[in-house]
Structure 1
């Protein structure tokens, strides 16, 4: 039976959950997939994805895992707005009421594996920060005033789909954007890089960025 409430580990965990949700909403009022198993909550959000078939924008997900004070079982994709609303109204500072209205998102239907990851190296925080800021500037330069959605999506794909120079596993620049926008980059801490099939994972002490490459036909 799915749990209707999640008891977060403590008030600090609740604060981290609020921050993660707020940062995700800054990228667009999208969705979050909540998966709770035992005493661990995994919260997935999408920072980048292709808007149409054939676009080169990679699918970039952010994952934050958080401890729970009580056993729970949850697996639902819900709106970020509903998550933020319930985080603003926690009972006893830690009891989170799971939203009941699911939403449908293409990215949420295919999540990365939990095992089978192979380490492929590390990436410096400085490189990722520079790549993210450079990409943001390039996207802004490529998008004219009053540009339509196709132009915006094409610009985003051209910039964020490019592999980062000198980084193993063909990690796209979009991973750097995801890590920066979600606050996962830690000064002085290198990010660990892992691969598993079509997935690449960039991990820091603050969270994980997961990138799925397109299938080769």
Structure 2
């Protein structure tokens, strides 16, 4: 079985935390793993946010197959989490699963350019707190007979589809970044674009989303 030797215990703990958060939103979550050299990318899609989450993991050494071979496989997030040994700083690759549709469509690897207008990190965290409070307030004010899934979804779509500052980034992407542990105090943030994709980048992971109205333009299918 393929073994990942992670850079340190902290890297293993962050990977485990990321997988746990994905499983919180979807107990049957799958993740796509791509590894080459000393870098591992873990892709997941928490259904509540309709975004693609990417956790970059540093490896202490190239995974067992060697520098010249890449690994690309979709696995169960729960099974992968069970293999993470934080003390040893290792993780095993479980058996492959039939991937969900999103696993076949990933953001491009290159040609990313910086986008202006992203508010400061503190302002983004305040924004998330404000919109979460608004969602709770608006749903709690609904009469019992109107508190249907359709109405809750309508309110959610209204709130989470708003854009952030002067950017085209939807609020749901920032909410996802905070909920998955990417949006932390004192860390630098960046907003990038490539074709139809926008990516909110942090040192702990990225949130990628395709811009509305562009369909499948510039999508990388791998």
Give the TM-score normalised by structure 1. Answer: 0.80
Q: Is 1:197 aligned to 2:207, yes or no?
A: no
Change (3 A) 1:211 1:7: same
How far does residue 77 in structure 1 lie from its aligned partner after superposition? 2.0
Partner of 1:135: 131
SS in 2 for 1:64: strand
| Structure 2 residue ranges without an equivalent (≥5) | 64-69, 216-222
Partner of 2:62: 71
SS in 2 for 1:47: coil
Q: Is 1:112 aligned to 2:107, yes or no?
A: yes
Deviations 1:97-127 (A, max 9, x none): 1110414222222111111011012431122
Give the 4+ runs in structure 1 shifted more than 3 A.
138-155, 214-217
Of 24, 27, 33, the match for 2:25: 27
How far does residue 149 in structure 1 lie from its aligned partner after superposition? 4.6
Q: Is 1:175 aligned to 2:160, yes or no?
A: no
SS in 2 for 1:167: coil
Deviations 1:119-140 (A, max 9, x none): 0124311222122222323333
- Please tell me whether the aligned partners of residues 59 and 213 of structure 1 are also in contact (alpha carbons under 8 angstroms): no
- Please tell me whether the aligned partners of residues 64 and 207 of structure 1 are also in contact (alpha carbons under 8 angstroms): yes
How far does residue 26 in structure 1 lie from its aligned partner after superposition? 2.6
Between Structure 1 and Structure 2, the one with more strand by share is 1
Partner of 1:86: 83
Q: Which has the larger radius of gyration?
A: 2
Partner of 2:44: 45
SS in 1 for 2:130: helix
Aligned residues between the structures: 203
| Structure 1 residue ranges without an equivalent (≥5) | 50-57
How far does residue 74 in structure 1 lie from its aligned partner after superposition? 2.1
SS in 2 for 1:178: helix
* Alpha-carbon separation, structure 2, partners of 1:159 and 1:103: 33
Change (3 A) 1:32 1:142: farther
Partner of 1:157: 157
How far does residue 152 in structure 1 lie from its aligned partner after superposition? 4.1
Give the TM-score normalised by structure 2. Answer: 0.79
- Please tell me whether the aligned partners of residues 34 and 41 of structure 1 are also in contact (alpha carbons under 8 angstroms): yes
Partner of 2:219: none
